[in-house]
Amino acid sequence: MKFQEMNLNHSLLHGLKQMGMETATEIQERAIPEIIDSPDTHIIAQARTGSGKTLAFAIPLVEKIDNTLQTVQSVIIVPTRELCKQVAEVFVKLTKYRHIKVVQVYGGVSIDRQVQEIQEGAQIIVATPGRLIDLFNRHRVSFTDVKFVVLDEADRCLDMGFMPDIEFLLLDAMRDVHPRLILFSATMLDAVYDLTKRFTGDKNVIEIDVSQDSMTVENCNQYYYLIDDFKDKYYHFIRIIRQEKPIHCMIFVNTKRTGDWLYQRFQNEERLPLKPELISGNLTQRRREIVLDKFRKRKINCLIATDVAARGLDVEKVSHVFNYDIPEFEENYVHRIGRTARISNASGKVAKGIAISLVMNDQMRTLSRIEGFMSKDIEKRPLPQRRQYSSSNRQSSGSHSERHLNTDHPARRNRNNPKRTYKKSGPKKNDRKKPDRRNFLY
């Protein structure tokens, strides 16, 4: 369905055209009419990552905003600062010709400027839970005229420990306002349904689910490599990267410590087809923004990330997602690989990507749980052999780690006897003749 067929405001259609958006995705086609035409209903929508769910709630909210009323009318709650900025940018583009003021609210930066922007007539607020509660407790934001409250990436909000904050905002701060609840996420947890039932009283709730037959997993070629010895994991990974030759990739790890270690190892690799950067919870907000901007603008082609970056990052044309560490939870796997199955702006089609996971022998049960969660088998691939790279790299010296690991490397192989290696010639360090100090006396 074309957006022009939805009877949207002309200025909103103009904004969509400027964004290059013409055709609605499945979640947009089903959610937008429900939100606009059903004034008393609450929406619970489940759709795969990269399906266009941000526009699915942004378009109807902009359509329903009264731009003559200079008060907060819609609140969008998101789990991370990166997602807050991305969602706010979408609203800014949509409201370019409607003169609606959008304010993003998150921690790690000065609260004074955010207060000033809200008092200047903010009509849409995109916020992380903690900073929004801080503003509410300081009486710097009012929810009196709020008609919509959106919980984006709802399960992630709960996973990250925001349940008490979400409960306070929905059940206490907005208790007397009774706004419509719109809840979007790629996966749904029981706690999400419980929260929805408590907020709505289980009345007038419409569920939209377009994820069962068309999850992210269907738009991604998935493979795994089985590794026997943990000590060899990094070296196998280097060979896999050289074999795949990713154009633009993300590498996910489970801990910040592993991310730091992997990033440092990459710095010492020669002829690695990657320009990596690291994003984790240790970075300042300014540094995180710089790294993400460089990745989006293709100034770097590799982003090493913990799961803090797995949700909501809207980066187009990611060719590969590597799970250096396989995630402990099935939902995180889906969100990770969702980075490589994104909607293209003009056509509305999904470009297939490649997801590769490194799996240790004792992690096969975790892999089986992930396959069961997706109802899809992940194909096993044989590990690349060292000989493949020693023969192809004879013209070059190869990386430092490869030379020292690989006894088949031409710099270490004895041509007459392949089982033996050359030894350095010349005297040992301690046997070298010392200079005669008497020559320097006169």
Query: Digits of tens for pLDDT over the chain (442 positions)?
Result: 888 888 888 888 888 888 888 888 888 888 899 999 888 889 988 876 667 888 999 999 999 999 889 999 999 999 888 889 889 999 999 988 888 999 999 988 889 999 999 999 999 999 999 999 999 999 999 999 999 999 988 877 877 778 899 999 999 999 888 899 999 877 777 778 888 888 888 788 888 887 644 455 667 889 999 999 999 999 999 999 999 999 999 999 998 899 999 999 998 887 788 889 998 777 777 888 888 888 888 899 999 988 765 555 667 778 899 999 999 888 788 878 877 755 454 444 555 789 999 999 999 989 998 888 877 889 999 999 875 544 444 444 344 444 444 444 444 445 455 555 445 555 555 555 555 544 444 3
Closest CA to 182 of 76, 68, 321: 76
Q: Tell me how far apart the alpha carbons of residues 113 and 360 are, in angstroms, rounded to a whole number.
A: 49
- Kindly state the tokens that stand for 290: 């710089």
Q: How far is CA 170 from CA 16, 73, 106, 245, 319, in A?
A: 31, 15, 18, 47, 39
pLDDT given for residue 392 in this prediction:
43
First to last CA, the chain: 97
Q: Tell me how far apart the alpha carbons of residues 45 and 181 are, in angstroms, rounded to a whole number.
A: 11
Answer for the pair 118, 40: CB distance below 8 angstroms, yes or no. no
Identity of residue 113: R
Q: Tell me how far apart the alpha carbons of residues 421 and 65 are, in angstroms, rounded to a whole number.
A: 75
Residues in the chain: 442
Please, which residues have CB within 8 angstroms of residue 134's CB and are 6 or more apart in sequence? 107, 111
- pTM for this structure? 0.65
Q: Tell me how far apart the alpha carbons of residues 374 and 334 are, in angstroms, rounded to a whole number.
A: 8
pLDDT given for residue 102 in this prediction:
95
Q: Which runs of consecutive H residues, i.e. helices, occur in 190-329?
A: 190-200, 233-244, 256-267, 285-296
Walk me through the domains of the chain, giving residue ranges and CATH numbers. Answer: 3-209 (3.40.50.300), 216-389 (3.40.50.300)
Provide the CA 104 distance to its chain's centre, in angstroms: 19
Question: Helices (H), strands (E): how many in the chain?
Answer: 16, 14
Closest CA to 287 of 111, 110, 108, 113: 108
Where do we find the tokens 């998935």? 222
Answer for the pair 50, 343: CB distance below 8 angstroms, yes or no. yes
- Kindly state the tokens that stand for 435: 């200079």
Q: Tell me how far apart the alpha carbons of residues 313 and 144 are, in angstroms, rounded to a whole number.
A: 32
Closest CA to 27 of 256, 240, 216: 216
pLDDT given for residue 410 in this prediction:
45
pLDDT given for residue 311 in this prediction:
57
